[in-house]
Amino acid sequence: MNEFIKLLLKKRFAEGAQQMDWIKQGVHYVVPKNILGLLSWEEIEIRASGEKNIDVEKLKKITDYCNGDGDSKYIQRFWRVLENMSDELKQAYLKFVWGRQRLPVDMTNLDYRHSIYLLSDTNDGDKSLPESHTCFFQLDLPCYSTDEICEQRITTAITFCGEIDTDYGANNIADEDGDNEY
């Protein structure tokens, strides 16, 4: 009977061995095994998920502009507003536009870049909210007339549009059965 219990326990304790090996391989992909013991948990967290504080200058370096350029007064207004935001709002901006709250430590190997599409200034941009396309890491930015309006509209968008898709948006509400009502 004791032999049976020992074998049963051995089998049960080994059930997740393959999954644990896969997790170890993933960790060692981000943090090489030979330096893992030299890092604190905070340093490992930064390597795995990025800095908590968003460096706007790093974001600028990986930004492309559509329908305008970095010297546009509207783009400059956007950067001033973003730089003056709290770290929490900067993280919310990244989630709004990218679906992630942190920038990676090594941004040289990104598959795509942050882009800002400047909307035409012929419409009444002050009444519009910015839109994002998380699949493309893109912000559609209306032409706001002041920094204050820009800040208010961006803050409203990133605060109230926290989901990265429109599954349960205002025009697409799920009913009690989980079916979508339009």
Spell out the domain ranges in the chain.
2-49, 56-160
Tokens of residue 92, six digits: 């919310």
Q: What is the pLDDT of residues 109-122, one digit of tens each?
A: 777 799 999 998 76
Domain 56-160 sits in CATH at 3.30.2410.10
Residue 178 pLDDT greater than 80, yes or no: no
Name the catalytic one among 66, 135, 150, 161.
Answer: 135
Tokens of residue 119, six digits: 């909307």
pTM: predicted TM-score of the whole model, two decimal places? 0.73
Q: What is the pLDDT of residues 69-92, one digit of tens each?
A: 989 999 999 999 999 999 999 999
Percent above pLDDT 90 for the chain: 61
Mean pLDDT, the chain, integer:
86
Q: Please answer whether residues 116 and 75 qualify as being in contact, where contact means their C-beta atoms are separated by less than 8 angstroms.
A: yes
Please list, residue by residue across 86-96, b when 16 or more beta carbons sit within 10 angstroms of its beta carbon and e when fewer do.
eeebbbbbbbb
Residue 68 pLDDT greater than 60, yes or no: yes
Active site residue 135: yes
pLDDT mean over 117-137: 87
In angstroms, the CA 28 to CA 36 distance is 8
